[in-house]
Amino acid sequence: MDAHTELEDEFKESLEIGDRIMTELAQARADLERAEAALKIPIDEIGQIMHESWTQTKRTQGFHHPDEQGHGTTSHPCAKCHGDLVPWASLSERQKDINRHAFDAVLARIQLLAKKE
C-alpha cells in the first residue's frame, strides 16, 4: 500500500468517525429534549396539586370552610375556619397564582440538575 492510499483510507475512516459522533450527538440532544419536556408540567396542574396537598394537610389538622359548619360571613369565624378550603375551581385567582408558583424554585433547580446530566 503506498502512502497516498494509506492517507486516503485514514481520511475515509475519520469521516466515518465524524459521522458516528454526529449521530450520537443528535441522539443525545433528542434524549435531553425529551427529558426537558417531561419536566415541563403545566403550571395549572402544579397549582392544583399544591392546593390539594395543602387542603389535605389543613383537613387533617381539623380545619374547615366557614360554610361547612355554618360559621359563615355573618357570624364570627372560629379558630379552625379557613376560607381557602374550597375546590381548586372555586379558589380566587390570587390564591391560584400563589399555588401555581409555589413550586417555581424547586422546579428550576430540578431543570438545572437535568441539564447537567
For binding to Zn ion (CB under 5 A), which residues are involved? 69, 71, 78, 81
Residue among 58 and 101 whose Cβ is closer to Zn ion: 58
Please identify, using beta-carbon distances, which residue of 1 and 79 lies nearer to Zn ion: 79
58 with 111: CB under 8 angstroms?
Answer: no
Nearest approach in angstroms of CB 80 to Zn ion is: 5
Q: How far is the CB of 69 from Zn ion (least distance, A)?
A: 5
User: Taking a C-beta distance cutoff of 8 angstroms, is the pair 36, 111 a contact?
Assistant: yes
Distant-in-sequence contacts of 87-93, Cβ < 8 A, 24+ apart: 88/47, 88/48, 88/51, 88/52, 91/51
In the complex, minimum distance from the CB of residue 74 to Zn ion, in angstroms, rounded to a whole number:
13
Is the separation of the CB atoms in 71 and 77 below 8 Å? yes
Q: Smallest gap, in angstroms, from Cβ of residue 91 to Zn ion?
A: 18
Sign of CA pseudo-dihedral 14, 19, 22, 23: negative
46 or 81, CB closer to Zn ion? Answer: 81
Q: Which is nearer to Zn ion, 64 or 101 (CB)?
A: 64
